[in-house]
Amino acid sequence: MEFSPLEFYLCYNSSDVFYNKGVEIFFSAEKLEEVLSTGESSFVQFKEKINSINALASEICAFANTKGGIIIVGVNDTGNVIGLTPLGISQLNQMISNCCSQKIYPALSAETENVKIDDKIVVAISVPLGPNKFYMANERDVWVKVGADKRRAGKEEMRRLLQESFNIFADEQPIQGTDINDLDPWLLKSFLGKKTDHEKKEITSEDEKSLENMKILKDGLCTLAGLLLLGKRRYPLFSQYQIPAVSWYGNDPGIKDYRESEDIKGNVLILYEESLAFIRRQLRKLQMGQHVNSLGVLEIPSIALEEALINAIVHRNYYIQSNIRIFVFDNRVEIINPGTLPNTLTVESIKSGVHISMI
């Protein structure tokens, strides 16, 4: 069962919300007043009235491009209820219908609920998390929420929005100025040999067709995935996706002294192997009840380090011009991955066992 942003917000913050056969949701005026008392946020916007359909399109667009939310009309900026007249409610609903179908592209559906507070009526506009990002308002602007405010999205953000809705994939993008000669011959032959169960002594035109089908090549150019998986060790692109690793004395990165640092460059196999080797060099080996002549056990299990590194390399956002970073302290290892959690996922929801498939 799916809920609107307003339903989710009220359910999450209220024990008084109840369901009718698991479909319709009702909430008390007291609970809506509680929402008003907390003020505006990334999920809640107050409007005393809406006179411009273009302004409404911008607000709805910003919510749809971010995580969804609610616009409560009939309330001033401080959360005081002003209310709407019956005629105002009718005009607002007509404006919402026209806005979602004519002023936002692609078209979007928004739900409304009328709530009575102290003999005054307010309208809650529920904007869903848009499944077909990015959304454009008034044929020209792409808006995103930033806290309680909004701003126009930049080029990189628009790429990220497209990626979130699975319209584009960073790893499938061809890299201009490249060709099959930029791939490591040994890795390429080994890769194709495993796919065909035959040892490869040279790359044929049929092999190149296979690489196109596997999206290693596209129109004769290497894709980002092709270079990251099979690229030559010294390829210039890898400077952009290197992993700076630093081992610090103590537990604070603010100090100047460090044990060791390294800028790890190369394809993803090199990044993984050399990053893991760097971390292992910094960690102590503990006896853990073993014989005195044993090699000892890493103070952090190797499988945990491997999992964290693989996740960082595979799931990083390659549209963000930033690097994975590794910090080793006396009491912890930090592996910092550029990017954000997908869709509505949060750290707290992850702890509760929630996950979102990206396939």
Cα distances (Å, whole numbers) of residue 158 to 130, 244, 252? 13, 28, 36
pTM of the entire predicted model? 0.54
DSSP line for 300-340? S-HHHHHHHHHHHHHHS-TTSS---EEEE-SS-EEEE-SS-
pLDDT digits (tens, 9 = 90+) for 217-269: 988 899 988 988 898 877 777 777 889 999 999 888 777 788 999 999 988 99
Cα distances (Å, whole numbers) of residue 308 to 173, 230, 311? 26, 22, 5
Cα separation, 258 vs 328, whole angstroms: 10
Single out the residue of 88, 72, 86 nearest to residue 27, CA to CA.
72
Find the range with the poorest average confidence among 21-25, 97-101, 127-131, 262-266. 21-25
Can you give the residue ranges of every domain in the chain? Answer: 5-164, 179-232, 238-351
Topology annotation, domain 5-164: 3.30.950
CATH architecture observed for domain 238-351 = 2-Layer Sandwich (3.30)
Cα separation, 260 vs 275, whole angstroms: 13
pLDDT digits (tens, 9 = 90+) for 179-211: 899 999 899 998 888 888 888 888 888 888 989
Residue 14 token pair: 């209220």
